[in-house]
Amino acid sequence: MAEVFTGSFTQQEPIPEEAVAAALEVMRSGRLHRYNTAPGEEAEAAALERDFAALTGARYCLALASGGYGLTCALRACGVTPGDPVLTNAFTLAPVPGAIAGAGAVPVFVEVTEALVIDLDDLAAKIEASGARVLMLSHMRGHICDMEALMALCDRAGVTVVEDCAHTMGASWAGVPSGRFGRVGCFSTQTYKHVNSGEGGLLISDDAELMARATMFSGSYMFYDRHPAGPAAEIFDTIRYETPNCSGRMDNLRAAILRPQLARLAGQCAAWNARYGAVEAGLADTPGLHLIQRPAAEGFVGSSIQFLMPGLGTKAIETLIAACRDRGVELKWFGAAEPAAFTSRHDSWRYAPPQCLPRTDRVLAGLLDMRLPLTFSLEDCALIARIVRGEATRIARAAA
């Protein structure tokens, strides 16, 4: 009888007890708003900013209502204005081009490689052709490109890099934390990310003026001095008069839930990588299935896994997804013609101008994706790999 997996691909771990206790304390106080503090009290949101700045080595940090809000806030703080072209990976999730459109700018998509990272040759060509001066670099599904090469290219061209680190909290390139290469790094604390507050976002930067603008955009009013991980008060002297309030603050309740999770992040990342390794080992040498090779310099966090089934064809891919689903395994396909749940491709974002991206289309046509929540045991991961391997082998051989 065929094995069946009975777990959930969307069930996360419980919130740690120390985070529950911290949340209860905030609720009992009634002071959920980040600027509503008792005399001598540091707000949980302010403490979270200080903690995350220390964790990443950034000079400044700002806590926000969502990762998507953080992306738009970062673009606006970088000086992006309506009509500006902004470069981004063609392989990403909808909030990334959505943030560009939200700033009134125009997404310019850059091809993706078979390693699922931005194509640096196409990036160079698109910089020249578009005249764009900002790149929103999406470390999509935790895949980090050669950051030294990318930054050298962008620095030569005078292109500002905004890092979308929604999938790379705790990850690094050549020992440097994700988010520390560009002018600003943007993180998400949405439920399916590496720390969980339901929704939430964090910006980090060493740029005082940028962070002052972002703080004012976030809705600080004149309470910017209550950000211990923010710029000095004098940086706001002019900025406070010319920057609109577009309220998107994080509240103290979510910050209280997050702070204990940050203290556990390294252990959580190691646990994800153990699960990634178990699935990767189980899928190795599967006929027709190509695993993504991770560079030695990439300190990745394997909270999801991707693989390619190149040349398999739409019908065979759909058959594979259905066969795995019947055995309890949820695969997401980035090549589907219609958006499904969180998964969509560049031609479905019709607020962006249509763009010709043959390499990306070829990659996405065979790209499958699977979440690896920490509620899975290593035995679960081995079982999932056996199911995918068996169905992929059967379908690849039938298609040959």
Q: What is the DSSP string of 280-310?
A: HHHHTT-TT-EEPPPPTTEE---SEEEEE-T
pLDDT of residue 214: 98
Instruction: Quote the pLDDT of residue 184.
Output: 98
Instruction: Return the structure tokens found at 39.
Output: 């005399």
- pTM (whole model) above 0.95: yes
How confident is the model at residue 17, as a pLDDT? 98
Show me where the domains of the chain are located.
Answer: 17-263, 265-399
Distance separating alpha carbons of residues 143 and 246, to the nearest angstrom: 31
Tell the burial category of 394 from Cβ atoms under 10 Å away from its Cβ (0-12, 13-18, 19+): middle
Rounded to whole angstroms, how far apart are CA atoms 289 and 303? 20
CA distance 50 to 60: 8
User: Do the first three CATH levels of 17-263 and 265-399 match, i.e. the same topology?
Assistant: no
Write out the two tokens for 235.
């940086």
Q: Which CATH fold topology does 17-263 show?
A: Aspartate Aminotransferase; domain 2 (3.40.640)
Please give the chain's pLDDT, 400 residues, in tens.
799 999 999 999 999 999 999 999 999 999 999 999 999 999 999 999 999 999 999 999 999 999 999 999 999 999 999 999 999 999 999 999 999 999 999 999 999 999 999 999 999 999 999 999 999 999 999 999 999 999 999 999 999 999 999 999 999 999 999 999 999 999 999 999 999 999 999 999 999 999 999 999 999 999 999 999 999 999 999 999 999 999 999 999 999 999 999 999 999 999 999 999 999 999 999 999 999 999 999 999 999 999 999 988 999 999 999 999 999 999 999 999 888 888 889 999 999 999 999 999 999 999 999 999 999 999 999 999 999 999 999 998 887 7
Rounded alpha-carbon distances, angstroms, from residue 201 to 164, 195, 206 = 11, 10, 17
Given CATH 3.90.1150.10, say whether it is the number of domain 265-399. yes
Give the pLDDT of residue 172.
98
Asked if 5 contacts 387 with a C-beta cutoff of 8 angstroms, the reply is yes
CA dist., res. 45 & res. 260, Å (int): 13
Token digits of residue 363: 């990659």
Number of Cβ within 10 Å of residue 342's Cβ equals 12
Burial grade of 129 (CB within 10 A; 0-12, 13-18, 19 or more): exposed
State both tokens at 179. Answer: 């988010």
pLDDT of residue 37: 95
Q: Which residue has the tokens 């020249």?
A: 128
Alpha carbon distance 98, 100 (integer Å)? 5
Which tokens hold the place of 221? 């009013």
pLDDT at 396: 86
